[in-house]
Amino acid sequence: MISEKISLGINGNIKIPGDKSISHRSIIIPSISKGICEISNLLKSEDVLHTLNAFKSLGVKIEEQNDKTIVYGRGLNSLKKSSKELFLGNSGTSARLLTGLLSSYPFISVLKGDKSLSSRPMNRIIDPLIKMNGEFKSTNGSLPLKIIGKELNNFNHEILIPSAQVKSGIILACLNTEGKSTIIENHVTRNHTEIMLQSFDANIDIKKNISSSKIIINGKNELKSKNIEVPSDLSSSAFFIVAALINTDSKIRLKNINLNPTRDGILKALKIMGANIAFTNKKIINNEYVADILVESSNLKGCELDESMAKLMIDEYPILSIAASFANSPSVFKGLQELKVKESNRLELIKINLNKCGIFCEINNNDLFIDPTKKNSIKDNNIKTDFDHRIAMSFAVMGSKLGNLKIEDSESINTSFPKFKEIYNSSGGNLIEK
């Protein structure tokens, strides 16, 4: 458990760890490529380490050398059967991407996870793979999952539920499948997999318009490994951005942050709310947009965000809710059904914990309504997290304004941000272990 005392301001130059989504893919894609890959700034969180250890079990040599992670790629279709079950902790990314990849390899694999991951839906990735001739055994469409790997059939598939994990899992399956496969997505989702595959010379073509994209994969073509510099994580940065916005006398610079346009919804939302945010030192690293972010204390106003925004920032709604709690007018966030099937039911936990903190909050179907003008006294300073790292970090930031909030099960933060407490306190936060 951690507790937060009132902050006197968040300040300084802050180095955020590597992007979690890109870190996962920085292990997976070099492992099935030809050649050696040196990875800089890989996030060493529990989730990413589960992916890393899974590929070691699948026969990939991975070493730590100074500050770099070295992956000795085996090439396409060269992974070896693991002698043990692959334990993935709480990492949904690991589970869904590995399900897609391993479905095309000629051996049996078993994926397991912790209690939380074992309750999350896997049918959304299993069902399209079955249409490709994939074979699986599970209970109620969740982990543990037995993958009976075999030669898959190429196919055309339209993704109906926006999910970068599902899309990426299918792409990885298609890489090792003879012929041409086409994936159509009618909603914008994170495109890190496609970007990295293109940089690794995959035979993949992407055709985009405003609202959709068509991804054409020509399978059985060898990938060529490249070195990777992982940019810093925007989702992790969001906790510091909001902390600086809501606390007086705050001014921070966040360095080398990933600004991929499929993930920058949190910045757009905060700008709508009147946040003082600017960008400098813009550049492109490994085909990803990167910049420093400058943030200063701001007087925020409430806003209404429609469902389209959820596709660009679903993971950031917990911390956005904290920002909305200190705005000068109500906010409505629509179409948040995906929050119900994350590491926890985040939608419900946001409501429960904001009301504990004296902030009026209610859910109408899948819409979240927050009215900071109806503040009451703190009802209960014990914050319920259900072992969800983003809920824990979001309410740690809330504590910088309210003080004396006790964040239960705060060890879950190690899932994505092991040095959160250290970096947060060095910038002016006051998190204390209880």
Residues near 369 by beta carbon (within 8 Å), at least 6 away in sequence: 330, 331, 332, 361, 362, 363
Amino acid (1-letter code) at residue 115: K
Quickly count: other Cβ atoms within 10 Å of residue 287's Cβ.
13
Query: In sequence order, what E strands does 233-351 have?
Result: 251-258, 276-285, 288-296, 304-305, 331-333
Is the omega angle on the peptide bond into residue 318 within 30 degrees of 0, that is, cis?
no
Longest CA span, the chain = 63
Beta-strand relationship, 331-333 and 304-305 = parallel
Terminal-to-terminal C-alpha distance of the chain: 5
Tokens 């030192």 label which residue? Answer: 281
Question: What are the tokens at 400?
Answer: 């910088």
The length of the chain in residues reads 434
* Residue 29, SS3 per DSSP: helix
Residues near 365 by beta carbon (within 8 Å), at least 6 away in sequence: none
Cα separation, 222 vs 22, whole angstroms:
21
CB-based contact 291:259 (threshold 8 Å): yes
CB-based contact 236:255 (threshold 8 Å): no
Q: Please say whether the dihedral angle defined by the alpha carbons of residues 383, 386, 392 and 395, taken in this order, is positive or negative.
A: negative
Cα separation, 274 vs 236, whole angstroms:
21
What's the burial of 167, exposed, middle or buried (CB within 10 Å: 0-12/13-18/19+)? buried
DSSP for 107-146, written as a single string: SEEEEE--TTGGGS--HHHHHHHHHTT--EEEETTEEEEE
Active site residues: 315
